[in-house]
Amino acid sequence: MEYVTDDYINDYLRNVQPKYDGVLGDIQREATESNVPIIPHECARFLSTLLSFIKPKNVLEIGTAVGFSSGLMSRYLREGGKIITIDRYDIMLKDAKVNIKRMNLEDTITILEGDAAKILPTLNEKFDFIFVDAAKGQYGQFFPYCFNLLNVGGIMLFDDVLQSGTICKNRFSVPRRQRTIHKRLTNFLWDITHNDALETSIIPIGDGMALCHKIKDAVMDIPKTDVLDTEDIEYTEETKGDKND
């Protein structure tokens, strides 16, 4: 994956900030060495800092991958806090279940297996923090559900929103096969930055993160649309490095 900051900046940020300890650190190192798509270290450290003062009780994650980010978030839960994480890829879920057990977090982290677009409408509980790192073309569809599931004062964090910086370019300047995701992400970023119930900032670290703070008690209408295609690729062992592309 290409990032929105130069390599020398990424290298500096990844080296100057301490690595994680314990089993979590082992999972991070193993995933990085195996080219498994987890959030880069500079984004993980941003997530840690954010959660250190939010101290959420209930967390929703869309995009479990191998369980690194949910394991990370569990370190900052209030007492009795819980995490629900959603993923549809069997290859990732197999590793995630093993890793969650390695971290002794089976009573804290619940995995919901399946397409988030189908699972989100079935959720009723409210969340203090929602982290989304999944199919970028579906962020716009996920957004109204996440908004309605978020407590007032809660935070949503969306990862990889700048598509290697191509979002900043004209749609017709990107390869044709990327134009659908470009359009969907562009519309999504407009929606989250022009919603008067949110304070939103788009942060240029990693491949771009969008931070949304819900400041008003509001409910969004859910568009009556068909379920979108999950992604432009089918995720297999051979495409392991492409899940977040």
Per-residue pLDDT reduced to its tens digit, 170-204: 766 677 767 777 788 989 999 999 999 999 999 99
If we measure between CA atoms, which residue out of 147, 143, 158 comes closest to residue 197?
147
Residue whose entry in the numeric block shows the structure tokens 């804290």: 108
For the full predicted model, state whether its pTM sits above 0.75: yes
Q: Are the beta carbons of 68 and 133 closer than 8 angstroms? A: no
* Contacts of 195 by beta carbon, 8 Å cutoff, 6+ apart: 147
Amino acid at 8: Y
Q: Which domains does the chain have, with CATH numbers?
A: 7-218 (3.40.50.150)
Q: Which two structure tokens, joined as six digits, stand for 124?
A: 């009723």
If we measure between CA atoms, which residue out of 65, 74, 75 comes closest to residue 96?
65
In this structure, the number of other CB atoms found within 10 A of the CB of residue 61 comes to: 27
Per-residue pLDDT reduced to its tens digit, 142-153: 999 999 999 999
